[in-house]
Amino acid sequence: METTFMIRQGEWELAATLHRPLAEDRGGSFQAAPLVVICHGFVGSRIGVDRLFVKTARELAGTGLNVLRFDYAGCGESEGDYGAGGLDAMVSQTRAVLDHVLAIPGIATEDVTLLGHSLGGAVAILTATIDKRVNKLVLWSPVANPFGDIVRIVGKDVYEKAMQEGRADYLGYGLTSGYFNSLSAHHPFQEARKFLGPILLVHGTGDDVIPVDYSFLYQKIFRIRRDGCCDKELVQGANHTFSSEESVTAVIDRTKGWLIGHSGPKSRII
């Protein structure tokens, strides 16, 4: 069962789709099941490249999970301007989404995972370090150096224009100097060790956007925490968005198996 709705966050409404694992029972209620919230990447959407997040949500819901995928402000069907407020605003939006979905009956509030892809991985880390409702992280090809990684993606010319003129166009998105300043103010590598829950890293060996080395470095950091395990899976030949039938099957299957193995004692995953 899939339901699409809008979530109010400040002055904007964010578009979201909730995938339910089971139909309503005879009493009209849902049996509580774990929650996965998908955080998309830079100028992305809740659909994902080649429908990656749609496929993922449906597969995970089929195993007994609630899955919410949403569009950050200025992306997909959400209102607002992308990048307004920088990474801090994206963390706030993620927390607002959690506020909304965790109030819905049938959500196991003690079993909450953020699944972040690319820049969404960095946002997921930053959110999980300050929001204790999040107890697991799944990071696909996660950004580790927000400023350097995004400047490399958009190009130095776009960055310099934004800093000189206050705003620059990138694929129709108006990136501001404030947005780039916010990227340089956050360092996920330094923040990562503050999160003490289980973590899964998945990265394609053919990723030419975000280096696969980042996941090795993240794993080293996560493994020196005082608590919480960290597993890493490499998908041979996969690109940044896992854009092949073999790659998408691999990333979803490995994520699904890990989530099943790390479900809470009160969670029901079939």
119 neighbors 214 (Cβ within 8 angstroms): no
Instruction: Please report the pLDDT score of residue 264 as a whole number.
Output: 61
Instruction: Please report the pLDDT score of residue 227 as a whole number.
Output: 81
Instruction: Please report the pLDDT score of residue 23 as a whole number.
Output: 54
Per-residue pLDDT of the chain (270 residues; tens, 9 = 90+): 899 999 999 899 999 999 998 654 445 555 789 999 999 999 999 999 999 999 999 999 999 999 999 999 999 999 999 989 999 999 999 999 999 999 999 999 999 999 999 999 999 999 999 999 999 999 999 999 999 999 999 999 999 999 999 999 999 999 999 999 999 999 998 999 999 999 999 999 999 999 999 999 999 999 888 888 999 999 999 999 999 999 999 999 999 999 999 876 433 333
HEC readout, the chain: CEEEEEEEECCEEEEEEEECCCCCCCCCCCCCEEEEEEECCCCCCCCCHHHHHHHHHHHHHCCCCEEEEECCCCCCCCCCCCCCCHHHHHHHHHHHHHHHHCCCCCEEEEEEEEEEECHHHHHHHHHHCCCCCCCEEEEECCCCCHHHHHHHHHCHHHHHHHHHHCEEEECCEEEEHHHHHHHHHCCHHHHHHHCCCCEEEEEECCCCCCCCHHHHHHHHHHHCCCCCCEEEEEECCCCCCCCCHHHHHHHHHHHHHHHHHCCCCCCCCC
Distance CA 91, CA 86 (A): 9
* Among the listed residues 36, 30, 31, 86, the one whose alpha carbon sits nearest the alpha carbon of residue 57: 36
* Among the listed residues 31, 30, 29, 10, the one whose alpha carbon sits nearest the alpha carbon of residue 99: 10
Instruction: Please report the pLDDT score of residue 228 as a whole number.
Output: 81
pTM, two decimal places = 0.94
Instruction: Please report the pLDDT score of residue 115 as a whole number.
Output: 98
Instruction: Please report the pLDDT score of residue 177 as a whole number.
Output: 96
Instruction: Please report the pLDDT score of residue 29 as a whole number.
Output: 58
Instruction: Please report the pLDDT score of residue 267 as a whole number.
Output: 37
